[in-house]
Amino acid sequence: MCVTNDRVVAFQGMRGAYSEQACRERLPEYTLLPCRSFEDVFSAVEEGEAAVGMIPVENSMAGVVSDSYDLLAVRNLHIIGEHYLLVRHSLLGLPGADLEGIRAVYSHPQGLAQCQAFLRRYSWTRFSVYDTAGAAADLVERGNPADAAVASELCAGLYGLKVLKRDIQDCRMNTTRFLLMARDETTPPPAVACKTSLLFEVRNIPAALYKCLGGFATNGVNLTRLESRPVPNSPWAYHFYLDFQGRPEQPSVQHALDELKFFTTNLKHLGCYQESRKPEMPEGDPAA
Q: Give the C-alpha distances (Å, rounded to integers) separating 214 from 44, 47, 194, 232, 257.
A: 38, 39, 21, 27, 10
Q: For the residues of 127-156, what is the DSSP string, one character each? A: EE-S-HHHHHHHHHHH--TTEEEEE-HHHH
| Stretch 61-100: interaction string toward a second copy, x if CB under 8 A | xxx--x----------------------------------
Residue type, 155: C
262 is catalytic: no
176 is catalytic: yes
Q: Is 233 in the site for a second copy (CB under 8 A)?
A: yes
- Quick one: the chain helix, strand, coil %, rounded to 5? 30, 35, 40
* Catalytic pick among 11, 42, 118, 176: 176
Q: Is 285 in the site for a second copy (CB under 8 A)?
A: no
Write out the binding residues for a second copy, residues 15-44 only, by CB under 8 A. Answer: 39
* Catalytic pick among 42, 118, 178, 263: 178
Write out the binding residues for a second copy, residues 110-169 only, by CB under 8 A. Answer: 113, 120, 126-130
Contacts of 6 (CB under 8 A, 6+ apart): 51
Q: How many CB atoms lie within 10 A of CB 236?
A: 6
Task: List 264's β-bridge partners, or say none.
Answer: 202
Q: Is 274 in the site for a second copy (CB under 8 A)?
A: no
Taking the complex as a whole, the smallest distance from the CB of residue 128 to a second copy amounts, in Å, to 3
- What is the Cα 41 distance to its own chain's centre? 13
Q: Is 207 in the site for a second copy (CB under 8 A)?
A: yes
Catalytically active residues are 176, 178
Site residues for a second copy per CB under 8 A: 39, 59-63, 66, 109, 113, 120, 126-130, 170-171, 173-175, 206-207, 209-211, 213-214, 216-217, 220, 222-223, 226-230, 232-233, 235-236, 278
